[in-house]
Amino acid sequence: MRHLPRVLIVEDESSIAELIAINLRHNGMSPVWAEDGQRAQLEIDTVLPDLILLDWMLPGASGVSLAKKWRTDPRTKQVPILMLTARSDENDKVQGLDAGADDYITKPFSTQELLARIRAVLRRRAPEQAGGSVTVGPLTLDATTYRVTVDGLTVKLGPTEFKLLNHFMRHPERVHSRGQLLDKVWGDHVFIEERTVDVHVKRLREALGTAGALVQTVRGAGYRFSAQAEQSDQGG
111 occurs within a structural domain: yes
Looking at residue 235, its pLDDT comes to: 45
Last residue of a domain, one of 123, 148, 167: 123
43 and 150 share a domain?
no
Which run of H or E residues covers position 19?
Answer: helix 14-26
Choose the weakest-confidence range: 35-39, 174-178, 180-184, 209-213. Answer: 180-184
Q: Is the pLDDT of residue 202 over 90?
A: yes
pTM of the model: 0.58
Beta bridge partners of 154: 149
| Contact between 51 and 71 (Cβ < 8 Å) | no
Q: Please give the residue that has the higher pLDDT: either 175 or 78.
A: 175
What are the pLDDT digits (tens) for 118-173?
888 887 665 444 567 888 889 999 887 888 999 989 999 988 899 899 999 988 88
pLDDT class of 234 with cuts at 50, 70, 90? very low
160 occurs within a structural domain: yes
Q: Please give the residue that has the higher pLDDT: either 187 or 176.
A: 176
81 occurs within a structural domain: yes
Q: Is the pLDDT of residue 10 over 70?
A: yes
147 and 187 share a domain?
yes
Looking at residue 236, its pLDDT comes to: 47
33 and 92 share a domain?
yes
111 and 209 share a domain?
no
Looking at residue 110, its pLDDT comes to: 87
Looking at residue 33, its pLDDT comes to: 95
List CB contacts of 97: < 8 A, sequence separation 6 or more. Answer: 104, 196, 199, 200
Domain count across the chain: 2
Last residue of a domain, one of 123, 142, 169: 123
236 occurs within a structural domain: no
| Contact between 41 and 84 (Cβ < 8 Å) | no
Task: Please state the rounded mean pLDDT for residues 86-91.
Answer: 68
CATH number at residue 210: 1.10.10.10
Domain span at 39: 6-123
86 occurs within a structural domain: yes
DSSP H helices in 32-158: 37-46, 63-72, 90-99, 111-123
CATH number at residue 65: 3.40.50.2300
pLDDT class of 233 with cuts at 50, 70, 90? very low
Looking at residue 130, its pLDDT comes to: 54
77 and 27 share a domain?
yes
174 and 219 share a domain?
yes
Which run of H or E residues covers position 104?
Answer: strand 103-106
Share of the chain above pLDDT 70, in %: 87
231 occurs within a structural domain: no
Q: Count Cβ atoms below 10 Å from residue 30 Cβ, excluding itself.
A: 16
98 occurs within a structural domain: yes
